[in-house]
Amino acid sequence: MDTNLLKEMKENFLKREQLLSSYACFSKQAIRIKEEEQKTEFRPPFYHDTDRIIHAPSYTRYLNKTQVFSFFKNDHLSKRIIHVQLVSKIARTIGRSLGLNEDLIEAIALGHDIGHTPIGHVGEAILDEISRRELGEIFSHNVQGVRVYKDLENNQLGCNLTVQVLDGILCHNGEILSNIYHPENKTKESFLEQYENCYKSEKVLKQLRPMTLEGCVVRLSDIIGYIGRDIEDAIRVNVIKREELPKNIQKTLGTTNREIVNTLIQDIIKNSLGKPYLKMSSQVFEALLELKKFNYQNIYKNANTKEQLSFYKEKMNMLYYQYLDDIKEKNKNSRIYQFYLKNVSVKYLEKTDPKRIVLDFIAGMTDQFFLESAPSTNS
């Protein structure tokens, strides 16, 4: 490519950063796990990361990973792909209003749930039980998300995303709410150390904070993206009725997903503009906590029957031990060979514990692939 044209293209991409807040993370601050030759690359690093994320096969599998209601026959229920797009839009709205880097926000938002298992949080809890029992390590979807893009994609070479994006994925967990979000200074080395410690320490997992304000935006946008949408889904499948929402929530946040999202976005922008942190008003924060509690008690606990939960647990455990035996016996007819191991690097096979290989395979499954793979109880 013509050198002058390449330079002009780079400059045009970066012009918008001249308008960003001093609290934003700029492209010149981007850090990659491995250094790369950039002679012919005109895309800014965070913008480039979004391309690497959405072109990865794991991103395509978002299409068939569900949120809360896994096997209801309703085409309007949320899938994981819709959730990450909603989070991206919400986060970019907040980020643009606060003068933050939307390229970084979009990359984190679109990649943040890539580590989710089949059957949503239920599947994650089952894999966590297996991982603790078999490997003595915690399984968490945010940590697995970093593993996918850092180590598993691109024939186990990884996508070499920036540390800022990987950190945003690691620290995105919207389940852990706070009234104020301060970024935490990190280096590449301290990020990698934190990531490794997440496999061993629940304390580290629960205390994760993003290294950028953009990462904080995505973390807050995660809960905004699902809290009201889950209500709409629950109403669609007759798990709750809209009028059952507590009066304080209706008054403070609203009664529909649209109202709830709008209220939360405006409150965050109002209380965070021109500040090096994100903040919600006390009234809105307390209402959000109440709504989160309401959703857990009335939606998430009722999303699966005891029989379904028992079925998922039994099948996932059966799959785990079956694939472990298949690796030991080198059963090339097994699905783990047909759909996974035939495409992996020799180094991955030689250096990775078979137990971890099986967890990687199951974690990457879509809901339907999991059901199709699960052996019959009578077999």
**Is the domain covering 3-30+42-302 a CATH 2.40.50.140 domain?**
no
How far is 51 from 43, CA to CA, in rounded Å? 10
pLDDT for 379: 39
DSSP conformational letter for 331:
-
Rounded Cα distance between 174 and 218, Å, is 9
β-pair partners for 279: 180
Q: What is the pLDDT of residue 75?
A: 62
What are the φ/ψ torsions at residue 67 (nearest 5 degrees)? -90, -85
pTM over 0.85: yes
Give domain limits for the chain: 3-30+42-302, 307-373
Q: What would the pLDDT profile of 22-32 be if each residue is shown by its tens digit? A: 999 999 999 99
Q: Which residue has the tokens 């922008």?
A: 269
Residue 123's H or E segment, with its range, is: helix 120-135
> String of b and e for 253-271 (b: at least 16 CB within 10 Å)?
bbebbeebbbbbbebbbeb
Q: Tell me how far apart the alpha carbons of residues 366 and 8 are, in angstroms, rounded to a whole number.
A: 42
Show the 3-state SS of 135-155: HCCCCCHHHHHHHHHHHHHHH
How far apart CA 340 and CA 334 sit, in angstroms, is 10
| Separation of alpha carbons 154 and 301, rounded Å | 37
CA geometry: angle 272, 210, 191, nearest 5 deg: 155
* Cβ partners under 8 Å of residue 109, min gap 6: 84, 87, 88, 91, 92, 218, 221
- Residues pairing with 147 in the sheet: none
Angle at CA 170, nearest 5°, toward 168 and 171? 65
Q: What is the pLDDT of residue 173?
A: 83
Alpha carbon 343 to its chain's center: 24
Token pair of 157, please? 């070479």
Residue 114: partners with Cβ closer than 8 Å, 6 or more residues away: 53, 56, 58, 59, 62, 145, 148, 149, 169
**Type of residue found at 290:** E
Task: Name the phi and psi angles at 291, rounded to 5.
Answer: -65, -40
What pLDDT does 305 receive? 82
- 9-39 CB burial, b ≥16 within 10 A, e <16: ebeebeeebeebeebbbebeebbbbeeeeee
Q: Please, are residues 233 and 67 in contact by the beta-carbon 8 Å criterion?
A: yes
pLDDT, one tens digit per residue, over 323-356 is: 999 999 999 999 999 999 988 999 999 999 999 9
User: Which letter does DSSP use for residue 13 in this model?
Assistant: H
Distance separating alpha carbons of residues 45 and 33, to the nearest angstrom: 12
pLDDT tens track, the chain, 379 positions: 677 777 777 888 788 889 999 999 999 999 999 988 776 778 899 999 999 999 999 999 988 887 765 666 656 666 788 899 999 999 999 999 999 999 999 999 999 999 999 998 899 999 999 999 999 999 999 999 999 999 999 989 999 999 999 999 999 985 678 889 999 999 999 999 999 999 999 999 999 999 999 999 999 999 999 999 889 988 888 888 999 999 999 999 999 999 999 999 999 999 999 999 999 999 999 999 999 999 999 988 887 788 889 999 999 999 999 999 999 999 999 999 999 998 899 999 999 999 999 999 999 999 989 988 877 654 3
Cα–Cα distance between 180 and 80 in angstroms, integer?
A: 27
| Structure tokens belonging to residue 310 | 């028992």
